Each structure stands twice: as C-alpha cells, then as structure tokens.
Structure 1
Amino acid sequence: MTPDIRDMASSSAKAEPPTPASRQSPALTALVRAVDALAMGLAAMAGVALAAVALLIAGEMAARAVFAYSFSFAWEFSAYAVGIAIFGGLGWTLRTGGHIRVALLGSILPPGPARWAEALAALVGAALAILLAAALVTLCLASWRDGTRSFLGLETPLYLPQFFMALGAVGFALQAALRVVLLASGHPAERAGNGDTIAGGHA
C-alpha cells in the first residue's frame, strides 16, 4: 500500500526546522529591513556616481579628440563621484559579504567561540565605522558652516560632495552595528544570494 502524497508532504512540512527569520523578533526584522533599505538606496547612489564618472571621462576624452577642448569640471566632479561611489557602496558590500576578511580563527575554533570571535571583530569594526561616519559628518558640517569651496575653477561648495560621502559612511556604520546585533543574537549577518535576507525574510 503506497503512502498518500499529501501525508508525505504534510509530514515533511512538520519536520522542517524553522528558519532564522521565523525566530527573529518583529522589532529586529523591522530594523533589518530599514537598514537594508538604506543600504540599497546608497548602493544605487554609488552606481549612479560610477556611471557619472564614466560619462564625464568619456565626454572629456571625446571633446579633446574631436574639438581639442577640455571640460574644466570633468576631473573635479569625477573625483567627487569616486568618493561618493566608495562610501555609498560600503554598507551594501558589508551586508552581502563582499568585503575581504581573514577567517583564520573561524577555521580553528569550535562553532560557538568562533561566532563570538566574529562578533567581537564586528564590534571593533562597528566602532571604527562609527568614528569614520562621525568624522565625515563633522567635516561636512564644518565645510557648510565655514563656506569652504574647492580651489579649482568652479569653486564647488565642498559640503555638497561631502554630504553624500558622509551619508554613505553613516549607512556603513549602521550596517556594521546591525552586524554586531545579528551575530550576538544568533542570526546570520549576511544576506542570501537569492535576494532574501538571511536574518530578516524578504527585503
């Protein structure tokens, strides 16, 4: 007598262990989604900045080759855009496990101590990220208060590019702090490759 397919599916569903997302508190889930949404927005900003760099450099090269003319602002704005792209992408790169890290202790320690060692390393990284964000926010506010401008031809107010760099650094600091919380509470700290948040369900 063959077992009923529906009974097999039902028993399989009952035996399936709960996912990390199902064990996560609603408050932590909301926090993860909010910080991830900010990180994705900043990553999109970084992508736009990189596209702007490509367009500026391509336009500069074409203008020089065809018209023997140079855009005076191309290199200046490209430098700003590169900085914005770097800081804008930091948080999302951390969340998706893209940063280079040495996992020597994780390979020699038992799972429990290895996890706490990773949490300690994440705590140190979060502290440094917060210091970086605070420094950039302070720099941006000082440039805005003092009216500091670029010494180049357009005399760009420096608080404008610094604002977006500081915003990226703040997003990175939030992701670094979130990583500490997730590791300390026993949840995976990185997103799954299929677009789901390992610790927080769908983004």
Structure 2
Amino acid sequence: MPESEVRKFSAITDPIDQISRIACIVGGVCLVAIFVLIASEIVARNLLGTSLPFSWDFAAYMMGGCVFLSAGATLKAGGHVRVTAIHDYLPQKGKQVLDAAACLVGLAICLVILFAVSDMAMLSFHRGSTSSSVVRTPLWIPQAVMAIGAVVLSLQMFAQLVRTIAGETLHNDADIEDQL
C-alpha cells in the first residue's frame, strides 16, 4: 500500500498510540506506588513495630492496574510473547494474512477480557462489594482501573489490525532488540 494510504490510517492509530502511552505512564506510577507502599510497610514493621493495614491490599490493586494499563503500550512496542516459527518462513503476503488473522483473534480475546472485567466491576458497583480487609475498599474502583486497561489494550489491538491491513510490518525480534 502506498505511503499516502498508510498515513490515512494514522488518524486512527496515532490517537490510540497516545492513549496507550498515557495509560502506560499511569501504570508506571502504579509500579512506583507499589514500591513506596511496600517499603513503607517494611519500615513501619521493623522500626515502628506496627503495620499499615492497607498496604498489601492497595499494592495488589495497583499491580492489577499496572499490568492492565501497561498492556496496550507493551503490545505496540512488540513486547508480548510472539511465536514466529511459521511466520518467518512465509512470503510477505502470507505474513500479512497471518498477522491480520492473529490480530483478529487477539482482538476477540481482548474484547472478551474487556467484557468480563467490566461486568465484574459493574456487578461489584451494583452490589456494593468491598474488600474483606480493614479498609473495606469498594472493589469496583480497582476493577474499573483494570477495565480501563482492557479498553486500552483492545484499542491497541484494533490499531495493530489496522496497521496490518494497511501493510505496515508489525514488530519482530530485531525491532525489539534495537529498542533495548
């Protein structure tokens, strides 16, 4: 496909890429917050003889947020596991068809995950479910963060499908090694 045709799709893919980058930054903030919470817990236990009752719960919630919010950017960067045993031996058109099929299957899986996590968050919200810990965190809050991450991953998978259809080459191992 000519460069002008590929650029037409950038109006779709560029905003999705930006959303993925922002979500990944928030995921990184969650990772730093996990470190701060666990370090604070260790200091509180060892120096003050007390525990922070919320630290482990909030760290677990942030871990879910970190994983889900960073998944879209990881997909864009080619960081997810990809088996290329057949892919590497196909002609370019075969690679494109295989990539498109993989993106379609991946998008279907992402949408199932999105539905499941969103449904779980909505159910927790409607039931007023809270954690069983002392803090009694409303569970829909961390579940909603996971649902937002699932939206971002689904959007990024759609963007990857658009790129494949437009004839762009998705990341391969050499691209990833160059980024490291």
Could you state the TM-score of these two structures normalised by the residue count of structure 2?
0.90
Shift of 1:25: 4.4
**Counterpart amino acid of residue 161 in structure 2:** V
Provide the residue aligned with 1:80 in structure 2: 61
SS at match of 1:153: coil
The answer to whether structure 1 residue 40 and structure 2 residue 40 are counterparts is no
2:132 paired residue among 143, 146, 151: 151
Shift of 1:135: 0.9
**Counterpart amino acid of residue 82 in structure 1:** M
**Counterpart amino acid of residue 128 in structure 1:** I
Q: Work out whether residues 106 and 115 of structure 1, in 8 Å CA contact, stay in contact via their aligned partners in 2.
A: no
Unpaired runs of at least 5, structure 1: 1-17, 196-203
Q: Work out whether residues 46 and 88 of structure 1, in 8 Å CA contact, stay in contact via their aligned partners in 2.
A: yes
Q: Work out whether residues 105 and 117 of structure 1, in 8 Å CA contact, stay in contact via their aligned partners in 2.
A: no
Greater shift, 164-173 or 28-37, is seen at: 28-37
1:176 paired residue among 157, 164, 176: 157
Shift of 1:24: 2.3
Shift of 1:185: 2.1
Report how many aligned residue pairs link the two structures.
176
2:50 paired residue among 66, 69, 80: 69
Percent pairwise identity? 31
The answer to whether structure 1 residue 163 and structure 2 residue 169 are counterparts is no
Higher relative contact order (CA 8 A, sep 6+): 2
Provide the residue aligned with 2:6 in structure 1: 24
Shift of 1:19: 8.1
The answer to whether structure 1 residue 126 and structure 2 residue 111 are counterparts is no
SS at match of 1:24: helix
Answer with 1 or 2: which has the greater Rg: 1
CA deviations 1:105-126 (Å, max 9, x no partner) are 1122222112211211111111
Residue 155 to residue 111, structure 1, CA distance change in 2 (3 Å) = same
Provide the residue aligned with 1:200 in structure 2: none
SS at match of 2:86: helix
Q: Work out whether residues 125 and 139 of structure 2, in 8 Å CA contact, stay in contact via their aligned partners in 1.
A: yes
- The Cα RMSD (Å) is 2.2
Greater shift, 51-60 or 113-122, is seen at: 113-122
Shift of 1:172: 0.2
Q: State the alpha-carbon separation in 2 of the partners of residues 161 and 19 from structure 1.
A: 44
CA deviations 1:24-66 (Å, max 9, x no partner) are 243x212111111110111011001001100000000011111
1:94-133 to structure 2, matched below 5 A, reads 94-133=75-114
CA deviations 1:91-141 (Å, max 9, x no partner) are 000001111111011122222112211211111111101110111111111
